[in-house]
């Protein structure tokens, strides 16, 4: 973690120094060198032949030559080392591992140093050598191609990382939505289960109530059935008891009448 933070700081510093040196050379020193009838300086061309190099040196003003020798080239000897470190750290931070891509900025810096040495020799030589111009031109072409490759690699890696990050974010969002949907489904399932349990409990209560009502009706029916024979028995008993009573009543009244009749003759005799 600390090493990663240190790499970031170093990359930021190297990038800032690279940007300052590049801005100073491209926007201050090179415009001074290219004043007058001079064509573009060696660093800014994609290769050149002997006659183009000779024409540039012939048209170069004393001020331009002095700036080129004492200001532009000294900075250009520092510049490759700085941007080489910057690209290496950038590749290391982007890929988070050691990669063969670090050879690109190393080769770029070597080509740039070779070009600067050739330009220095051409500026100081009184007679221009075609072989020196050829080597310098090849070094310039190689430097330019490697510079494009470094920038292309950085852009490509950044694009791949952004794509992966977006894809990971989309997958993470999809997983989050799936978990959310699963939790929602679980809550709904619990609600449905509770509702089913309540409904089952209500149906069970209704069934128990219906069973109790049926049992109550059955009990009442049995009670009513038991009471009906008892009433009939009572009625039969009352009917059986009524003739005996009449006979008893008749028996009781007959003696009474007999006695009365007996009393009447006795009274007649006494008279």
pLDDT at 253 (0 to 100): 46
pLDDT at 214 (0 to 100): 83
pLDDT at 203 (0 to 100): 86
223 pLDDT tier (thresholds 50, 70, 90): confident
pLDDT at 38 (0 to 100): 64
pLDDT at 36 (0 to 100): 72
In whole numbers, what is the pLDDT of the chain averaged over residues? 83
pLDDT at 157 (0 to 100): 93
pLDDT at 252 (0 to 100): 43
The yes-or-no verdict on residue 5 having pLDDT over 80 is yes
- Of all residues in the chain, the percent with pLDDT exceeding 70 is 82
3-state SS, the chain, equals: CHHHHHHHHHHHHHHHHHHHHHHHHHHHHHHHHCCCCCCCCHHHCCCCCHHHHHHHHHHCCHHHHHHHHHHHHHHHHHHHHHHHHHHHHHHHHHHCCCCHHHHHHHHHHHHHHHHHHHHHHHHHCCCCCHHHHHHHHHHHHHHHHHHHHHHHHHHHHHHHHHHHHHHHHHHHHHHHHHHHHHHHHHHHHHHHHHHHHHHHHHHHHHHHHHHHHHHHHHHHHHHHHHHHHHHHHHHHHHHHHHHHHHHHHHHHHHHHHHHHHHHHHHHHHHC
Q: What is the pLDDT of residues 163-207, one digit of tens each?
A: 999 999 888 889 988 898 999 998 888 888 888 888 888 888 888
266 pLDDT tier (thresholds 50, 70, 90): very low
pLDDT at 213 (0 to 100): 84
pLDDT at 109 (0 to 100): 96
Alpha-carbon distance 189 to 196, whole Å?
10
How many CB atoms lie under 10 A from the CB of residue 7? 16
Q: What is the pLDDT of residues 75-88, one digit of tens each?
A: 999 999 999 999 99
- Of all residues in the chain, the percent with pLDDT exceeding 90 is 45
Q: What is the pLDDT of residues 86-121, one digit of tens each?
A: 999 999 998 888 888 999 999 999 999 999 999 999
pLDDT at 259 (0 to 100): 46
pLDDT at 211 (0 to 100): 85
Q: What is the pLDDT of residues 224-263, one digit of tens each?
A: 777 665 555 555 555 555 555 454 444 444 444 444 444 4
pLDDT at 258 (0 to 100): 43
């Amino acid at each position: 973690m600390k090493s990663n933070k240190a790499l970031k700081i170093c990359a930021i510093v190297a990038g800032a120094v690279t940007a300052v040196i590049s801005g100073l050379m491209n926007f201050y020193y090179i415009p001074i060198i290219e004043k007058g009838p001079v064509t573009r300086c060696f660093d800014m061309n994609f290769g050149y032949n002997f006659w183009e190099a000779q024409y540039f040196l012939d048209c170069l003003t004393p001020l331009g030559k002095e700036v080129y020798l004492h200001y532009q080239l000294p900075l250009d000897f520092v510049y490759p080392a700085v941007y080489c470190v910057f690209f290496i750290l950038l590749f290391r931070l982007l890929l988070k591992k050691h990669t063969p891509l670090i050879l690109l900025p190393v080769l770029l810096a070597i080509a740039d140093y070779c070009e600067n040495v050739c330009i220095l020799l051409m500026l100081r030589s009184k007679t221009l050598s075609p072989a020196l111009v050829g080597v310098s031109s090849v070094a310039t072409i190689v430097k330019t191609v490697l510079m494009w490759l470094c920038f292309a690699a950085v852009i490509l890696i950044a694009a791949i990382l952004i794509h992966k990050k977006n894809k990971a974010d989309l997958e993470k969002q999809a997983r989050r939505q799936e978990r959310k949907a699963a939790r929602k489904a679980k809550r709904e399932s619990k609600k449905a289960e509770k509702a089913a349990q309540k409904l089952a409990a209500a149906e069970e209560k209704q069934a128990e109530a219906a069973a109790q009502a049926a049992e109550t009706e059955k009990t009442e029916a049995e009670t009513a059935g038991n009471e009906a024979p008892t009433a009939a028995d009572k009625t039969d008993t009352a009917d059986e008891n009524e003739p005996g009573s009449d006979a008893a009543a008749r028996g009781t009244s007959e003696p009474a009448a007999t006695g009365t009749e007996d009393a009447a003759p006795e009274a007649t005799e006494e008279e």
